[in-house]
Amino acid sequence: MKSLKVGLLGLGTVGCGTLELLRNNAALITDRSGCQIQVIHASARNPNRPRAADTRNILLTDNPFEVVNNAEVDVVLELIGGSTIAFDLAAQAIKSGKPVITANKALIAERGAELFDLARAHNVPLLFEAAVAGSIPIIKALREGLAANRIEWLTGIINGTSNFILSEMGEKSRPFDAVLAEAQALGYAEADPTFDIEGIDAAHKLAILAAIAFGIPLQFERVYTEGISHITDRDITYAEGLGYRIKHLALAKQTPDGIEMRVHPTLLPVQQLLANVSGVMNAVEVKGDAAGPTLYCGAGAGAEATASAVVADLIDCSRLLDSSPTQRVADLGTRRDQAIPILPMGEIETAYYLRMQVDDRPGVLAEVARILAELGISIEAIQQKEPAPSEAEAEIILLTHRVRERAMEQALTEIEALASVHGPAIRIRLEHLDN
């Protein structure tokens, strides 16, 4: 029987989860892969710390380069994170002719182009299923399952922390800060939650998915990124009343003028399956020209869910030993990058939810409606709410039809300049996902 000797970099949550999964399901994994997969060497900052995994038969070191350079190691599993030392380690492994498997979305999104070039030059597979959406085999679905399709768009809830926070705010009518604190206490959010709640993590993943879907280069820096920290439970309640749920959505879409790549809070009709994915679950919906819409849903993070994807890559890798490049799926699905422009945000088209504080007198709504009409923005619904007993100002809430974002920016500038409108308007994008 074949064997695959693994060098593991990083013994954190996912590293220990991977060791445990390989141990618990060893017989089954050997049976399915036709290969004995065994971690023989692992690195951690403090190798002697007690861990959630049995490391007795594994050589441990605090120097990850020792693992990479171990001549016995067939494949390197990079579970350190970040894009600096992880890059150096992956590059070193590839240069030594060793396949690399990583769960590191930042590494792939920010430095994937260099790594894939290197991997091609050294004829080595570089696998990254675990980098996007944890347990969901979405990279495989996009690169292989939907390979016959021209992808029209894809969208997803791909950051579990943000989805947990928005779900809790909605279900329990609680403010953002309180739910964030709870998420931190539960371990769903980091002590510094910026990466998750400001959308950077989702943007990393979207850059990877979009590159595969559209055959474009990885362009993390071109993803428009807006987080959820400005979303209030009031907007969630109003949206629900109008038949919508606010989700932190990542969306990439091919239009005649170029590709949209954007991450932002979004109103979705409640009857959409995606709108009903709650808590820390992830989901990705892909619209192919032949397959139509397909949806993939599952746990987006956690030791075991991520280990499921890491070990799937190990099993794939065991089959790819001694393979030629034409026997492998191309790194990002296609064999050459398409030069398709990325649309600036002013050029994208979407619908909007708007909320503004206004004077409580007749005529204000008409003024707002006039500005929108003059800019060719049609209104789907409009409501004026009387001031609550403790408040002096009324509120206007409205939904628009689809419009170019540039026109909406212009409209908001004019609306906010009205004497009867107070403070900046709240503006949240709205998608129906049916076009």
Residues with active-site annotation = 205
Under rule CB under 8 A, residue 229 binds its own copies: no
Q: What DSSP character marks residue 220?
A: G
Under rule CB under 8 A, residue 305 binds its own copies: yes
Rounded Cα–Cα distance for residues 177 and 330 (Å)? 43
| Residues of span 90-119 touching its own copies by CB under 8 A | none
Given the complex with its own copies, which of 178 and 315 has the nearer CB atom?
Answer: 315
Under rule CB under 8 A, residue 273 binds its own copies: yes
Rounded Cα–Cα distance for residues 389 and 342 (Å)? 48
> What are the tokens at 31?
């049976």
Report, in Å, the least distance between residue 16 CB and its own copies: 13
Q: Give 347-372 as a DSSP string.
A: G-EEEEEEEEEE-SSTTHHHHHHHHH
Under rule CB under 8 A, residue 361 binds its own copies: no
Half-sphere exposure of 48 (CA within 13 A, CB side): 0
Whether the CB-CB separation of 166 and 239 falls below 8 Å is answered with: no
Report, in Å, the least distance between residue 129 CB and its own copies: 8
Q: Which position among 102, 135, 155, 163 is part of the footprint of its own copies (CB under 8 A)?
A: 135
Half-sphere exposure of 230 (CA within 13 A, CB side): 13
Stretch that binds its own copies, among 138-146, 199-207, 216-224, 395-403 (CB under 8 A): 138-146
The β-bridge partners of 247 are 266
Residue ranges of the alpha helices (H) in 242-300?
none
Report, in Å, the least distance between residue 232 CB and its own copies: 25
Given the complex with its own copies, which of 77 and 408 has the nearer CB atom?
Answer: 77
Report, in Å, the least distance between residue 267 CB and its own copies: 19
Report, in Å, the least distance between residue 79 CB and its own copies: 15
Rounded Cα–Cα distance for residues 171 and 381 (Å)? 24
Residue ranges of the alpha helices (H) in 147-186?
160-172, 176-185
Whether the CB-CB separation of 163 and 191 falls below 8 Å is answered with: no
Whether the CB-CB separation of 26 and 9 falls below 8 Å is answered with: no
Under rule CB under 8 A, residue 311 binds its own copies: yes
Stretch that binds its own copies, among 30-38, 90-98, 359-367, 419-427 (CB under 8 A): 30-38
Under rule CB under 8 A, residue 137 binds its own copies: yes
Under rule CB under 8 A, residue 263 binds its own copies: no
Binding mask 315-334 for its own copies (x = CB under 8 A): xx--xx-xx--xxxxx--xx
Neighbours of 153 (CB within 10 A): 22
Given the complex with its own copies, which of 213 and 343 has the nearer CB atom?
Answer: 213
Element holding 109 (H helix, E strand)? helix 105-121
Half-sphere exposure of 219 (CA within 13 A, CB side): 22
Report, in Å, the least distance between residue 293 CB and its own copies: 7
Number of chain residues interacting with its own copies (CB under 8 A): 67
**8 φ, ψ (degrees, to nearest 5):** -110, 125
Q: Which position among 277, 343, 399, 421 is part of the footprint of its own copies (CB under 8 A)?
A: 277
Helices vs strands, H then E, count in the chain: 14, 17
Report, in Å, the least distance between residue 171 CB and its own copies: 12
Contacting residues toward its own copies, per CB under 8 A: 2, 17, 21, 24-25, 28-29, 31-35, 129, 134-137, 140-141, 144-150, 215, 271, 273, 276-277, 288-299, 302, 304-305, 307-309, 311-312, 314-316, 319-320, 322-323, 326-330, 333-336
